[in-house]
Structure 1
């Protein structure tokens, strides 16, 4: 098609995807083109602004490596991550709510026995975590894999410490016969998301703070149940109502209870949703 203009180019582009064999891919690309073109028209996007946007996305990709995912961070601060989580995790009443994955999960974290020190040298006040993993009917889930990770008291994850030779504040545990697991770590503290990249530049330009309320990350997997990716947030944190990545849910807020002998204790139970059975 020749003589394309601002009025007919959208349909011309959509037509080019007409032979896409995967119907879902065709649906996504058609909608993407429609909304991208509508956005450009709505804001009357200039060529200079378009080039600036391309430069921003390029810089975002260049900031990514095996220890940091700047595109996830961008999705988080735009609320897209949490919107996608909410749309895809509509669980029965009583199940633990899901929230954002975050950019600092690492595969291959060390395995720990119950009661071990997952902090492994991370800076912070001592804390013990006691938790159970159950099904919606209250049944204990034995043998569940639990990944846990957190920032230290300085607001950094282990992968943000150059030259650190071992994992800190992250590990893998397996639930016991009663569905329980227990580990020692440090108290979760509020921290700012990384601002030394394009996402930080965006936050500064839009007068948004980068802070996340104090939390622990959990990824729980068990045979016969839907996997769960969630946080447990520390009650009383000043950023619970303004989380930079929109991840807070009231059901995920819990008390870190000061202990008479020093340190804190967190108790929390996770409830998993069973996998749907085969359709009749």
Structure 2
């Protein structure tokens, strides 16, 4: 009986060790774009002092003032952009005082991912597998003196606080719906979209590029609803967002958002 008891205790200890090892592996395997505890990266700036050079970009948001992102934006290296699925995500950044004399102490900013910083940019700081934020000049200058050029930063994902509802801009033609999804609250980054008319079921949409989503469906003359899934799994339906007389090139705002 004593031997059996010792074996039982050994099995419990072994199970506990395996569980600890599993949890450690799980934590270490978190993708860099998904970290909600502080990670380490670097940052530069682009676009000039008025941030005009940051408009447009790989996420498809176009004029960032028109779409509500303004200068609170950043381009991401490929290791953070996740093939455009991190577009719309929000990050908090701090300059690491232990890594640069140009840092402003106690400063933290929140920016939205709106563009890509491709390999070969910013003197190689965006090359794989580097984790890098290419900020608008106004945001960089809140963290450090711009003379620094490049700074070490701490970063983490945070909830996006957006004004108003999630927005959908319709593009395409009667047989091809091509929709820009933006002004997304919650975790901000969209990983799945579906569309339906008031006379149809749901049509799953595919990521075309950035935050443009497409489907081969003819929904002209029908009121439109959308189902949106964030990359953290949070899913909501937005019913009758566009009336039956909607047109291509128009933007429609839902009554709700991810909060």
After TM superposition, the score normalised by the length of structure 2 is: 0.28
Scaled by the length of structure 1, the TM-score of the pair is 0.26
Greater percentage in helix: 1
Normalized per residue, the structure richer in strand is 2
